[in-house]
Amino acid sequence: MAHLKCIVPECGLEYPLKSVAFRCEHGHPTDVVYEQVPSTSLKEVFYKRRDHHGNIFDESGVWRFRELLNFCQIDTFDVIECASHFVSLDGSEGRLSKPYHMKRAARFAGAEGESLWLQPEGYNPSGSFKDNGMATAVTHGKMVGAKRIICASTGNTSASAGMFAANEGMKCDVYIPAGQIAPGKLSQAYQFGAQIIEVDGNFDDALEQSLRDVERDGYTVNSINPFRIEGQKTIPYRLLEHLEWKAPDWIVYPGGALGNTSSCGKALLELHKWGWIKKMPRIAVINAEGASTLYNLYNGKFGTKLRWNGGNVDTALIDEYYDNMGRRRLDPHTQASAIQIGKPANILKCLRALDATDGVVTTVSDKEMLDAMAVVGLNGFDCEMASGAALAGIKKLIESKVIKKDDVVVGILTGRQKDAMLPVRYHNESSNRFARPPKNRGA
Ligand SMILES: *Cc1c(COP(=O)(O)O)cnc(C)c1O
């Protein structure tokens, strides 16, 4: 009824769900593939579950949609059976996230009327969208009998993994680029009892090290894990449900390792195939200027334009790009540490998403992200700098007329502020556009 399958059509190798074949034997990424077509009458079921009557799997913004991610292959209406499989932090993952209109953000971006929505994923239990995918990844980890989960992290993955591991009584190893993690994220990992393993290097080095070590023991919960991708599909589910399953014109994400955009693409491809949505929204991925691998490759800044090409991706071009990065020591660099990634692990799945949705990729500067972050705050919502990339990117794409002023756009605010000094520094520097420096009234 469901299985793991290589995403490259020409390869298409299949593996059972109870395996950890996150890559096929040729090294291509795999997907969870469901064979049945879920009935659109489930839309009504999902909506009604919001009145959850104490059932945490109805309360959860992830498991509320469990028929569309039922890789456990269980009776989704039997609460006892759900409880013996699904990992949930008492129904809190994804529970509070839905799209909102934010007037000042819309004015900042130049969007007209009520066309702009922003969806704060920071209101997840560990403070970022990662909880959506971690709930499902740890569920699969339990399904294959894992006792120890392992991840590399720019911060939020470790906070999320640590939280679920502690709640499930599992061990958790976290590989971090030493000295490059926002203190608010690192402290969460410590707080939840994770074992921190410092790697000298950047995030890409930490991920490579963690994958080398996992061969011996443990279960990887980075977004190369297709079961992470399954849970993150609920981010577009929630926004589509809010728009009564009428697809918006655009969905806009900051791009780091590209797991989130990959999951959005997979969700849209499935929903379209199943007849749940009539039209495909376009995906826009926003890179930081200093960490713009996807932008460079997709837009032909490094040879020909990199494309999905029916699954025949020019991977030699990606390798060449990485070699060049290594040789010239072009380390990714941005203050938005969550997207400071040079080798996006999900680039192939992201290319598939961009292909299916006629997607675009652009970049924004650190200053633009900080201004956007500040504007989100002025609407009474909190987000971190990397999330500011979504709004800053929307502004840039409206200015360059790629996005029309009255297009319906949903931007994903990926995480809550965990770098406490960043807004303090921003507001104390009066030259910043939205700064409100403190007043001093003497003794
Ligand atoms: C992880 C993360 C990102 C990047 O998401 P990817 O799926 O890796 O592209 C962006 N923003 C925040 C706050 C994050 O935690």
pLDDT tens digits for range 194-205: 999 999 999 989
Q: Band of the pLDDT at 179, cuts 50, 70, 90?
A: confident
**What pLDDT is recorded for position 180?**
84
**What pLDDT is recorded for position 115?**
97
Q: Which residues pair with 99 in a beta bridge?
A: none
Q: Band of the pLDDT at 20, cuts 50, 70, 90?
A: very high
- pLDDT, tens only, 207-241: 999 999 987 678 999 999 999 999 999 999 999 99
* Percent of the chain with pLDDT strictly greater than 70: 100
Q: Which residue minimizes the CA distance to atom 4 of ligand 1?
A: 256
How far away, in angstroms, is 338 Cα from ligand 1 center? 6
How far away, in angstroms, is 293 Cα from ligand 1 center? 15
How far away, in angstroms, is 32 Cα from ligand 1 center? 21
CB 233 within 8 A of CB 127: no
How far away, in angstroms, is 439 Cα from ligand 1 center? 35
Which pair of tokens denotes residue 383? 């987000």
Query: Could you count the other beta carbons within 10 Å of the beta carbon of residue 376?
Result: 27
CB 427 within 8 A of CB 435: yes
Q: Residues 6 or more apart from 397 whose CB is under 8 A from it?
A: 250, 252, 284, 360, 362, 403
> For 377-400, what is the mean pLDDT?
97
Q: What are phi and psi of 408, to 5 degrees?
A: -80, 120
How far away, in angstroms, is 339 Cα from ligand 1 center? 6
- pLDDT, tens only, 25-36: 999 999 999 999
Ligand 1 atom with least separation from CA of 263: 7
How far away, in angstroms, is 260 Cα from ligand 1 center? 7
How far away, in angstroms, is 158 Cα from ligand 1 center? 12
**What pLDDT is recorded for position 214?**
86
Is the pLDDT at 5 greater than 70, yes or no? yes
Pairing verdict, β 2-6 and 14-15: antiparallel
Q: Which residue minimizes the CA distance to atom 2 of ligand 1?
A: 338
Ligand 1 atom with least separation from CA of 255: 9
- From 124, 131, 154, the mutation candidate for ligand 1 (largest count of ligand atoms within 8 A of CB) is 154
Choose among 8, 22, 36: nearest CA to 259. Answer: 22
Is the pLDDT at 164 greater than 80, yes or no? yes
**What pLDDT is recorded for position 48?**
97
**What pLDDT is recorded for position 286?**
98
Ligand 1 atom with least separation from CA of 156: 15
**What pLDDT is recorded for position 216?**
66
Q: What angle do CA 409, 126, 121 make, to 5 degrees?
A: 5
> For 381-398, what is the mean pLDDT?
98
**What pLDDT is recorded for position 246?**
97
**What pLDDT is recorded for position 1?**
87
Q: Residues lining ligand 1, CB < 6 A?
A: 128, 130, 156, 223, 254-260, 338-339, 384, 386-387, 414-415
Is the pLDDT at 288 greater than 90, yes or no? yes
Q: Residues 6 or more apart from 167 whose CB is under 8 A from it?
A: 87, 89
Q: Residues 6 or more apart from 309 whose CB is under 8 A from it?
A: 355
- From 339, 346, 348, 376, the mutation candidate for ligand 1 (largest count of ligand atoms within 8 A of CB) is 339
Q: Which residue minimizes the CA distance to atom 13 of ligand 1?
A: 415
Ligand 1 atom with least separation from CA of 254: 10
Q: What global pTM score does this model have?
A: 0.97
Q: Band of the pLDDT at 92, cuts 50, 70, 90?
A: very high
CB 181 within 8 A of CB 187: no
Is the pLDDT at 242 greater than 90, yes or no? yes
- The rounded mean pLDDT for the chain is 96
CA distance linking residue 334 with residue 366, whole number of Å: 7
Q: What angle do CA 94, 224, 334 make, to 5 degrees?
A: 80
- From 156, 230, 387, the mutation candidate for ligand 1 (largest count of ligand atoms within 8 A of CB) is 156
How far away, in angstroms, is 274 Cα from ligand 1 center? 28
CA distance linking residue 430 with residue 50, whole number of Å: 44
Q: What number of H helices and E strands is found in the chain?
A: 17, 12
Q: Which residues pair with 149 in a beta bridge?
A: 172, 219
Q: How many CA atoms lie within 13 A of 274 on its CB side?
A: 20
Q: Band of the pLDDT at 181, cuts 50, 70, 90?
A: confident
How far away, in angstroms, is 418 Cα from ligand 1 center? 13
How far away, in angstroms, is 81 Cα from ligand 1 center? 32
Residues 335/338/340/341 CA torsion (nearest 10 deg): 180
- From 118, 129, 207, 285, the mutation candidate for ligand 1 (largest count of ligand atoms within 8 A of CB) is 129
DSSP structural state of residue 29:
B
Hey, what amino acid is at 287?
N
**What pLDDT is recorded for position 167?**
97
More confident residue, 27 or 329: 27
Q: Residues 6 or more apart from 53 whose CB is under 8 A from it?
A: none
How far away, in angstroms, is 311 Cα from ligand 1 center? 25
How far away, in angstroms, is 278 Cα from ligand 1 center? 28
Q: Which residue minimizes the CA distance to atom 8 of ligand 1?
A: 257
Q: What angle do CA 389, 391, 394 make, to 5 degrees?
A: 105
Is the pLDDT at 248 greater than 70, yes or no? yes
Which pair of tokens denotes residue 252? 């806009």
Is the pLDDT at 415 greater than 80, yes or no? yes
Ligand 1 atom with least separation from CA of 257: 8
Which pair of tokens denotes residue 312? 């025949």
